[in-house]
Structure 1
Amino acid sequence: MTIKISAQYVKELRSQTGAGMMDCKKALQESDGNIEKAIESLRQKGLASASKKLNRTTAEGLIESYIHAGSRIGVIVEVNCETDFVARRIEFQELSRNIAMQIAACPAVEYVATRNIPDAVIERERYIEAGKEDLEDKPENIRIQIVEGRVKKRMDELSLLNQPFIRNTDITIDDLIKSNISLMGENIRVRRFVRFSLGEGIKKSSNNLAEEIENMTNK
Protein backbone atom coordinates (compact mmCIF):
# COMPACT_ATOMS: atom_id res chain seq x y z
CA MET A 1 0.00 0.00 0.00
CA THR A 2 1.37 3.40 -1.03
CA ILE A 3 1.28 5.95 1.77
CA LYS A 4 0.13 9.51 1.12
CA ILE A 5 2.94 12.07 1.28
CA SER A 6 2.14 15.73 1.97
CA ALA A 7 3.34 18.41 -0.43
CA GLN A 8 5.19 20.08 2.43
CA TYR A 9 7.31 16.96 3.02
CA VAL A 10 8.12 16.78 -0.68
CA LYS A 11 9.18 20.45 -0.77
CA GLU A 12 11.32 19.98 2.34
CA LEU A 13 13.14 17.01 0.82
CA ARG A 14 13.62 18.86 -2.43
CA SER A 15 15.11 21.88 -0.65
CA GLN A 16 17.62 19.60 1.10
CA THR A 17 18.62 17.56 -1.94
CA GLY A 18 17.85 19.53 -5.08
CA ALA A 19 16.23 16.43 -6.56
CA GLY A 20 13.09 16.63 -8.71
CA MET A 21 9.65 16.76 -7.11
CA MET A 22 8.57 13.34 -8.38
CA ASP A 23 11.87 11.76 -7.32
CA CYS A 24 11.40 13.23 -3.83
CA LYS A 25 7.84 11.99 -3.60
CA LYS A 26 8.81 8.48 -4.68
CA ALA A 27 11.73 8.39 -2.23
CA LEU A 28 9.44 9.45 0.64
CA GLN A 29 6.88 6.80 -0.28
CA GLU A 30 9.56 4.12 -0.39
CA SER A 31 10.91 5.22 3.00
CA ASP A 32 7.44 5.46 4.60
CA GLY A 33 7.79 9.23 5.00
CA ASN A 34 11.20 9.14 6.71
CA ILE A 35 13.13 12.13 5.31
CA GLU A 36 16.57 10.89 6.39
CA LYS A 37 16.08 7.53 4.69
CA ALA A 38 14.68 9.32 1.64
CA ILE A 39 17.82 11.50 1.43
CA GLU A 40 20.01 8.37 1.61
CA SER A 41 17.97 6.75 -1.12
CA LEU A 42 18.28 9.79 -3.41
CA ARG A 43 22.02 9.98 -2.84
CA GLN A 44 22.45 6.30 -3.64
CA LYS A 45 20.57 6.82 -6.90
CA GLY A 46 22.57 9.94 -7.72
CA LEU A 47 19.46 12.10 -7.64
CA ALA A 48 20.48 14.40 -4.79
CA SER A 49 23.11 16.40 -6.59
CA ALA A 50 21.16 18.37 -9.19
CA SER A 51 21.39 21.63 -7.25
CA LYS A 52 25.20 21.36 -7.10
CA LYS A 53 25.38 21.32 -10.90
CA LEU A 54 23.20 24.38 -11.55
CA ASN A 55 26.12 26.85 -11.74
CA ARG A 56 28.26 24.77 -14.09
CA THR A 57 28.89 26.16 -17.58
CA THR A 58 26.65 24.87 -20.36
CA ALA A 59 28.19 25.52 -23.79
CA GLU A 60 26.97 22.43 -25.65
CA GLY A 61 23.47 21.22 -26.42
CA LEU A 62 21.15 21.54 -29.37
CA ILE A 63 18.59 23.71 -31.07
CA GLU A 64 15.25 21.95 -31.22
CA SER A 65 12.29 22.89 -33.41
CA TYR A 66 8.66 21.88 -33.26
CA ILE A 67 5.85 22.57 -35.73
CA HIS A 68 2.39 21.90 -34.38
CA ALA A 69 -0.20 20.00 -36.43
CA GLY A 70 -1.68 22.29 -39.06
CA SER A 71 1.57 24.26 -39.32
CA ARG A 72 0.09 27.31 -37.60
CA ILE A 73 2.41 27.29 -34.56
CA GLY A 74 6.17 26.78 -34.56
CA VAL A 75 8.87 26.86 -31.88
CA ILE A 76 12.66 27.06 -31.91
CA VAL A 77 14.42 26.54 -28.57
CA GLU A 78 18.06 26.32 -27.53
CA VAL A 79 18.71 23.81 -24.74
CA ASN A 80 22.25 23.67 -23.34
CA CYS A 81 24.26 21.02 -21.52
CA GLU A 82 27.94 20.64 -20.62
CA THR A 83 29.20 18.12 -23.22
CA ASP A 84 28.37 17.02 -26.74
CA PHE A 85 28.21 13.46 -25.38
CA VAL A 86 25.09 14.33 -23.34
CA ALA A 87 23.72 16.42 -26.23
CA ARG A 88 23.67 13.24 -28.32
CA ARG A 89 21.81 11.21 -25.71
CA ILE A 90 18.27 10.17 -26.55
CA GLU A 91 17.09 11.40 -23.13
CA PHE A 92 18.46 14.89 -23.77
CA GLN A 93 16.90 15.04 -27.21
CA GLU A 94 13.57 13.89 -25.78
CA LEU A 95 13.78 16.56 -23.06
CA SER A 96 14.46 19.24 -25.68
CA ARG A 97 11.53 18.02 -27.75
CA ASN A 98 9.22 18.10 -24.74
CA ILE A 99 10.32 21.64 -23.90
CA ALA A 100 9.64 22.78 -27.47
CA MET A 101 6.17 21.22 -27.33
CA GLN A 102 5.57 22.87 -23.96
CA ILE A 103 6.36 26.31 -25.40
CA ALA A 104 3.98 25.66 -28.31
CA ALA A 105 1.22 24.78 -25.83
CA CYS A 106 1.75 27.89 -23.66
CA PRO A 107 1.03 31.07 -25.64
CA ALA A 108 1.30 33.24 -22.50
CA VAL A 109 4.91 32.22 -21.85
CA GLU A 110 7.42 34.92 -22.86
CA TYR A 111 10.49 34.28 -20.70
CA VAL A 112 12.56 31.29 -19.64
CA ALA A 113 12.42 32.16 -15.91
CA THR A 114 10.93 34.86 -13.69
CA ARG A 115 14.45 36.23 -13.13
CA ASN A 116 14.56 37.09 -16.85
CA ILE A 117 11.48 39.33 -16.67
CA PRO A 118 12.45 43.03 -16.97
CA ASP A 119 11.71 45.29 -14.01
CA ALA A 120 9.63 47.51 -16.29
CA VAL A 121 7.24 44.62 -17.00
CA ILE A 122 6.89 43.83 -13.29
CA GLU A 123 6.23 47.48 -12.42
CA ARG A 124 3.62 47.78 -15.16
CA GLU A 125 1.76 44.74 -13.82
CA ARG A 126 2.02 46.13 -10.29
CA TYR A 127 0.56 49.45 -11.48
CA ILE A 128 -2.32 47.71 -13.26
CA GLU A 129 -3.19 45.52 -10.28
CA ALA A 130 -2.96 48.41 -7.80
CA GLY A 131 -5.53 50.35 -9.81
CA LYS A 132 -8.24 47.69 -9.90
CA GLU A 133 -11.60 48.63 -8.41
CA ASP A 134 -11.94 45.56 -6.19
CA LEU A 135 -9.07 46.84 -4.03
CA GLU A 136 -10.37 50.34 -3.39
CA ASP A 137 -11.96 49.56 -0.02
CA LYS A 138 -9.17 47.31 1.27
CA PRO A 139 -6.75 48.47 4.01
CA GLU A 140 -3.40 49.46 2.53
CA ASN A 141 -1.44 46.55 4.01
CA ILE A 142 -3.99 44.05 2.69
CA ARG A 143 -4.04 45.81 -0.69
CA ILE A 144 -0.26 45.55 -0.97
CA GLN A 145 -0.33 41.82 -0.15
CA ILE A 146 -3.04 41.16 -2.73
CA VAL A 147 -1.23 43.17 -5.41
CA GLU A 148 2.06 41.37 -4.80
CA GLY A 149 0.32 37.99 -4.85
CA ARG A 150 -1.34 38.79 -8.17
CA VAL A 151 1.88 40.11 -9.66
CA LYS A 152 3.73 36.94 -8.64
CA LYS A 153 1.02 34.81 -10.21
CA ARG A 154 1.28 36.84 -13.41
CA MET A 155 5.07 36.51 -13.49
CA ASP A 156 4.75 32.74 -13.02
CA GLU A 157 2.39 32.66 -16.02
CA LEU A 158 5.03 34.36 -18.15
CA SER A 159 7.81 31.97 -17.10
CA LEU A 160 8.49 28.70 -18.90
CA LEU A 161 10.13 27.03 -15.89
CA ASN A 162 7.06 27.64 -13.74
CA GLN A 163 4.63 25.91 -16.11
CA PRO A 164 3.10 22.54 -15.21
CA PHE A 165 4.55 19.96 -17.59
CA ILE A 166 1.88 19.14 -20.17
CA ARG A 167 2.63 15.41 -19.98
CA ASN A 168 2.65 15.27 -16.19
CA THR A 169 1.00 18.25 -14.49
CA ASP A 170 2.24 17.10 -11.06
CA ILE A 171 5.63 18.59 -11.92
CA THR A 172 6.86 21.84 -13.47
CA ILE A 173 9.29 22.30 -16.33
CA ASP A 174 11.87 23.28 -13.72
CA ASP A 175 11.30 19.91 -11.98
CA LEU A 176 11.55 18.11 -15.31
CA ILE A 177 14.90 19.72 -16.10
CA LYS A 178 16.30 19.02 -12.63
CA SER A 179 15.32 15.36 -12.83
CA ASN A 180 17.21 15.16 -16.13
CA ILE A 181 20.21 16.89 -14.56
CA SER A 182 20.26 14.12 -11.98
CA LEU A 183 19.76 11.46 -14.64
CA MET A 184 22.51 12.66 -16.99
CA GLY A 185 24.93 14.09 -14.44
CA GLU A 186 25.31 17.46 -16.15
CA ASN A 187 23.83 20.92 -15.82
CA ILE A 188 21.02 21.56 -18.32
CA ARG A 189 19.61 24.96 -19.13
CA VAL A 190 17.07 26.47 -21.50
CA ARG A 191 18.88 29.47 -22.91
CA ARG A 192 16.32 31.06 -25.25
CA PHE A 193 13.32 30.35 -27.41
CA VAL A 194 11.03 31.93 -29.96
CA ARG A 195 7.43 31.02 -30.69
CA PHE A 196 5.78 31.71 -34.05
CA SER A 197 2.03 31.96 -34.61
CA LEU A 198 0.82 32.14 -38.20
CA GLY A 199 -0.32 35.67 -39.07
CA GLU A 200 0.75 37.10 -35.72
CA GLY A 201 1.24 40.87 -35.90
CA ILE A 202 -0.36 41.20 -39.32
CA LYS A 203 -3.40 43.43 -39.53
CA LYS A 204 -5.98 41.49 -41.48
CA SER A 205 -8.26 43.47 -43.79
CA SER A 206 -11.86 42.39 -44.18
CA ASN A 207 -13.67 43.27 -47.35
CA ASN A 208 -17.36 43.83 -46.71
CA LEU A 209 -18.95 43.67 -50.16
CA ALA A 210 -22.36 44.87 -48.96
CA GLU A 211 -20.81 47.91 -47.30
CA GLU A 212 -18.81 48.75 -50.43
CA ILE A 213 -21.93 48.59 -52.61
CA GLU A 214 -23.86 50.80 -50.16
CA ASN A 215 -21.09 53.40 -50.19
CA MET A 216 -21.03 53.43 -53.98
CA THR A 217 -24.80 53.93 -54.29
CA ASN A 218 -24.76 56.79 -51.77
CA LYS A 219 -22.27 58.81 -53.79
Structure 2
Amino acid sequence: MVRKISAENIKELRSKTGAGMTDCKKALEASDGQIDMAIETLRKKGLASADKKSARIATEGLIESYIHAGSRIGVLVELNCETDFVARQQEFHQLAKDVAMQIAACQSVIYVSKAHIPNEIMLYEKNIELQKEDLAEKPAEIREKIACGRIEKRLKELSLVDQAFIKNSEITIEELVKQHIALLGENIKIRRFQRFILGEGLESRNNNFNDEVLNMIKNK
Protein backbone atom coordinates (compact mmCIF):
# COMPACT_ATOMS: atom_id res chain seq x y z
CA MET A 1 0.00 0.00 0.00
CA VAL A 2 1.41 3.37 -1.05
CA ARG A 3 1.79 5.79 1.81
CA LYS A 4 -0.17 9.04 1.47
CA ILE A 5 2.09 12.05 1.01
CA SER A 6 0.97 15.00 3.12
CA ALA A 7 1.61 18.69 2.54
CA GLU A 8 3.68 18.67 5.74
CA ASN A 9 5.93 15.95 4.29
CA ILE A 10 6.46 17.96 1.13
CA LYS A 11 7.14 21.15 3.09
CA GLU A 12 9.69 19.36 5.30
CA LEU A 13 11.53 17.93 2.30
CA ARG A 14 11.53 21.32 0.57
CA SER A 15 12.97 23.03 3.65
CA LYS A 16 15.77 20.44 3.83
CA THR A 17 16.70 20.43 0.14
CA GLY A 18 15.46 23.68 -1.41
CA ALA A 19 13.96 21.67 -4.28
CA GLY A 20 10.65 22.61 -5.95
CA MET A 21 7.31 21.45 -4.57
CA THR A 22 6.58 19.16 -7.53
CA ASP A 23 10.03 17.57 -7.38
CA CYS A 24 9.64 17.02 -3.63
CA LYS A 25 6.26 15.36 -4.10
CA LYS A 26 7.58 13.04 -6.83
CA ALA A 27 10.63 12.10 -4.76
CA LEU A 28 8.45 11.27 -1.74
CA GLU A 29 6.08 9.22 -3.84
CA ALA A 30 9.00 7.28 -5.35
CA SER A 31 10.45 6.61 -1.88
CA ASP A 32 7.05 5.72 -0.31
CA GLY A 33 7.23 8.76 1.94
CA GLN A 34 10.71 8.11 3.36
CA ILE A 35 12.39 11.49 3.79
CA ASP A 36 16.00 10.22 3.78
CA MET A 37 15.53 8.29 0.54
CA ALA A 38 13.76 11.27 -1.04
CA ILE A 39 16.64 13.59 -0.05
CA GLU A 40 19.14 11.21 -1.64
CA THR A 41 17.07 11.07 -4.83
CA LEU A 42 16.85 14.86 -5.09
CA ARG A 43 20.52 15.24 -4.26
CA LYS A 44 21.52 12.86 -7.07
CA LYS A 45 19.28 14.66 -9.53
CA GLY A 46 20.51 18.02 -8.35
CA LEU A 47 24.16 17.13 -8.69
CA ALA A 48 23.58 15.69 -12.16
CA SER A 49 21.80 18.88 -13.15
CA ALA A 50 24.63 20.97 -11.69
CA ASP A 51 27.25 19.11 -13.72
CA LYS A 52 25.46 20.11 -16.95
CA LYS A 53 25.53 23.78 -15.93
CA SER A 54 29.16 23.85 -14.77
CA ALA A 55 30.53 24.80 -18.20
CA ARG A 56 28.34 27.88 -18.57
CA ILE A 57 29.96 31.32 -18.24
CA ALA A 58 29.51 33.01 -14.85
CA THR A 59 30.56 36.66 -14.69
CA GLU A 60 28.04 38.13 -12.23
CA GLY A 61 28.04 37.55 -8.47
CA LEU A 62 29.48 39.28 -5.46
CA ILE A 63 32.48 39.72 -3.18
CA GLU A 64 31.74 38.55 0.36
CA SER A 65 33.73 39.26 3.52
CA TYR A 66 34.00 37.44 6.83
CA ILE A 67 35.73 38.68 9.97
CA HIS A 68 36.24 36.09 12.67
CA ALA A 69 35.47 36.87 16.32
CA GLY A 70 38.32 38.91 17.80
CA SER A 71 39.03 40.53 14.42
CA ARG A 72 42.29 38.62 13.96
CA ILE A 73 41.28 36.68 10.83
CA GLY A 74 39.50 38.13 7.79
CA VAL A 75 38.49 36.70 4.43
CA LEU A 76 37.42 38.11 1.06
CA VAL A 77 35.93 35.72 -1.50
CA GLU A 78 34.55 36.28 -5.00
CA LEU A 79 31.59 34.06 -5.86
CA ASN A 80 30.32 34.15 -9.45
CA CYS A 81 26.98 33.27 -11.05
CA GLU A 82 25.38 33.91 -14.45
CA THR A 83 22.92 36.74 -13.74
CA ASP A 84 22.45 39.66 -11.40
CA PHE A 85 19.07 38.19 -10.47
CA VAL A 86 20.66 35.13 -8.84
CA ALA A 87 23.41 37.30 -7.32
CA ARG A 88 20.69 39.09 -5.33
CA GLN A 89 19.08 35.92 -3.98
CA GLN A 90 19.32 35.21 -0.25
CA GLU A 91 20.51 31.63 -0.89
CA PHE A 92 23.40 32.90 -3.01
CA HIS A 93 24.43 35.39 -0.32
CA GLN A 94 24.29 32.65 2.33
CA LEU A 95 26.47 30.40 0.18
CA ALA A 96 29.04 33.20 -0.12
CA LYS A 97 29.02 33.70 3.66
CA ASP A 98 29.44 29.96 4.27
CA VAL A 99 32.35 29.75 1.82
CA ALA A 100 34.07 32.75 3.43
CA MET A 101 33.65 31.21 6.87
CA GLN A 102 35.03 27.90 5.57
CA ILE A 103 38.16 29.65 4.29
CA ALA A 104 38.72 31.28 7.67
CA ALA A 105 38.37 27.91 9.40
CA CYS A 106 40.70 25.99 7.05
CA GLN A 107 44.14 27.50 7.47
CA SER A 108 45.83 24.90 5.21
CA VAL A 109 43.67 25.86 2.22
CA ILE A 110 45.51 28.00 -0.33
CA TYR A 111 43.82 27.27 -3.67
CA VAL A 112 40.21 27.11 -4.88
CA SER A 113 40.68 23.61 -6.33
CA LYS A 114 43.39 21.13 -7.27
CA ALA A 115 43.16 22.43 -10.84
CA HIS A 116 44.46 25.79 -9.56
CA ILE A 117 47.59 24.29 -7.95
CA PRO A 118 50.73 25.09 -10.05
CA ASN A 119 52.70 22.17 -11.48
CA GLU A 120 55.83 23.23 -9.61
CA ILE A 121 53.98 22.82 -6.31
CA MET A 122 52.88 19.31 -7.32
CA LEU A 123 56.44 18.38 -8.33
CA TYR A 124 57.79 19.83 -5.08
CA GLU A 125 55.35 17.78 -2.99
CA LYS A 126 56.15 14.64 -4.98
CA ASN A 127 59.89 15.13 -4.52
CA ILE A 128 59.44 15.46 -0.76
CA GLU A 129 57.38 12.27 -0.57
CA LEU A 130 59.80 10.22 -2.68
CA GLN A 131 62.69 11.20 -0.39
CA LYS A 132 61.01 10.15 2.85
CA GLU A 133 62.90 7.51 4.80
CA ASP A 134 60.01 5.03 5.04
CA LEU A 135 60.03 4.69 1.23
CA ALA A 136 63.79 4.42 0.75
CA GLU A 137 63.98 0.61 0.79
CA LYS A 138 60.85 -0.04 -1.27
CA PRO A 139 60.86 -0.93 -4.99
CA ALA A 140 60.50 2.06 -7.34
CA GLU A 141 57.01 1.03 -8.48
CA ILE A 142 55.74 0.75 -4.88
CA ARG A 143 57.40 4.03 -3.90
CA GLU A 144 55.69 5.80 -6.80
CA LYS A 145 52.27 4.36 -5.89
CA ILE A 146 52.53 5.28 -2.21
CA ALA A 147 53.89 8.74 -3.01
CA CYS A 148 51.04 9.44 -5.46
CA GLY A 149 48.48 8.49 -2.80
CA ARG A 150 50.10 10.80 -0.27
CA ILE A 151 50.39 13.63 -2.79
CA GLU A 152 46.69 13.35 -3.64
CA LYS A 153 45.85 13.64 0.05
CA ARG A 154 48.16 16.64 0.43
CA LEU A 155 46.71 18.43 -2.61
CA LYS A 156 43.20 17.97 -1.21
CA GLU A 157 44.35 19.65 2.00
CA LEU A 158 45.36 22.70 -0.09
CA SER A 159 42.11 22.75 -2.09
CA LEU A 160 39.03 24.62 -0.84
CA VAL A 161 36.41 22.64 -2.79
CA ASP A 162 37.72 19.33 -1.44
CA GLN A 163 37.15 20.34 2.20
CA ALA A 164 34.30 18.89 4.25
CA PHE A 165 31.72 21.62 4.83
CA ILE A 166 32.08 22.85 8.44
CA LYS A 167 28.29 23.00 8.90
CA ASN A 168 27.69 19.52 7.43
CA SER A 169 30.70 17.21 7.25
CA GLU A 170 28.80 14.74 5.05
CA ILE A 171 29.31 16.98 2.00
CA THR A 172 32.26 18.84 0.53
CA ILE A 173 32.35 22.49 -0.51
CA GLU A 174 32.17 21.30 -4.12
CA GLU A 175 28.94 19.43 -3.38
CA LEU A 176 27.58 22.43 -1.48
CA VAL A 177 28.13 24.63 -4.53
CA LYS A 178 26.51 22.04 -6.81
CA GLN A 179 23.47 21.90 -4.56
CA HIS A 180 23.08 25.65 -4.99
CA ILE A 181 23.54 25.33 -8.76
CA ALA A 182 20.61 22.90 -8.75
CA LEU A 183 18.60 25.14 -6.42
CA LEU A 184 19.18 28.44 -8.23
CA GLY A 185 19.38 27.08 -11.78
CA GLU A 186 22.64 28.76 -12.75
CA ASN A 187 26.31 27.93 -12.84
CA ILE A 188 28.12 29.08 -9.67
CA LYS A 189 31.88 29.25 -9.24
CA ILE A 190 34.25 30.24 -6.47
CA ARG A 191 36.66 32.39 -8.44
CA ARG A 192 39.24 33.51 -5.89
CA PHE A 193 39.79 34.35 -2.25
CA GLN A 194 42.22 36.05 0.09
CA ARG A 195 42.76 35.33 3.76
CA PHE A 196 44.17 37.99 6.10
CA ILE A 197 45.72 37.06 9.45
CA LEU A 198 46.63 39.88 11.82
CA GLY A 199 50.40 40.38 11.98
CA GLU A 200 51.14 37.71 9.38
CA GLY A 201 54.56 38.26 7.84
CA LEU A 202 55.69 40.69 10.52
CA GLU A 203 58.22 40.00 13.24
CA SER A 204 56.66 39.92 16.65
CA ARG A 205 57.22 42.84 18.97
CA ASN A 206 58.89 40.48 21.41
CA ASN A 207 61.54 39.47 18.86
CA ASN A 208 62.22 43.12 18.03
CA PHE A 209 62.60 43.93 21.73
CA ASN A 210 65.05 41.06 22.21
CA ASP A 211 67.15 42.30 19.29
CA GLU A 212 67.20 45.81 20.75
CA VAL A 213 68.41 44.46 24.11
CA LEU A 214 71.17 42.42 22.45
CA ASN A 215 72.35 45.43 20.46
CA MET A 216 72.42 47.55 23.61
CA ILE A 217 74.57 44.94 25.39
CA LYS A 218 76.97 44.66 22.48
CA ASN A 219 77.42 48.43 22.27
CA LYS A 220 78.34 48.84 25.94
In the superposition, the TM-score normalised over structure 1's length comes to 0.77
Q: Match for residue 181 of structure 1?
A: 181
Deviation at 1:203, TM superposition (A): 1.8
The total of aligned residue pairs comes to: 187
Given the superposition, is the C-alpha separation of residues 44 and 96 from structure 1 closer, same or farther in structure 2, using an over 3 Å criterion? closer
* Structure showing the higher helix proportion among its residues: 2
User: 1:126–1:148: 8 Å Cα contact kept in structure 2?
Assistant: yes
| AA in 2 matched with 1:92 | F
User: 2:59–2:82: 8 Å Cα contact kept in structure 1?
Assistant: yes
Q: Match for residue 153 of structure 2?
A: 153
Aligned mates of 1:89, 1:152 — CA distance in 2: 36
Q: Match for residue 101 of structure 1?
A: 101
Match status 1:67 vs 2:67: yes
Q: Match for residue 80 of structure 2?
A: 80
Q: Which structure 1 residue ranges, 5 or more long, are not aligned?
A: 1-26
Given the superposition, is the C-alpha separation of residues 83 and 134 from structure 1 closer, same or farther in structure 2, using an over 3 Å criterion? same
- Identify the match of residue 209 of structure 2 among 207, 210, 213: 207
Deviations 1:74-102 (A, max 9, x none): 00000000011100000000000000000
| AA in 2 matched with 1:179 | Q
In the superposition, the TM-score normalised over structure 2's length comes to 0.76
Q: Match for residue 195 of structure 1?
A: 195
Aligned mates of 2:110, 2:62 — CA distance in 1: 20
Given the superposition, is the C-alpha separation of residues 141 and 80 from structure 1 closer, same or farther in structure 2, using an over 3 Å criterion? same
User: 1:164–1:171: 8 Å Cα contact kept in structure 2?
Assistant: yes
Q: Please report the RMSD computed on the Cα atoms of aligned residues, expressed in angstroms.
A: 3.0
User: 1:49–1:182: 8 Å Cα contact kept in structure 2?
Assistant: yes
What secondary structure does 1:75 align onto? Answer: strand
Deviations 1:50-84 (A, max 9, x none): 11100001010000000000000000000000011
Deviation at 1:212, TM superposition (A): 4.8
Aligned mates of 1:196, 1:103 — CA distance in 2: 10
Given the superposition, is the C-alpha separation of residues 194 and 47 from structure 1 closer, same or farther in structure 2, using an over 3 Å criterion? closer
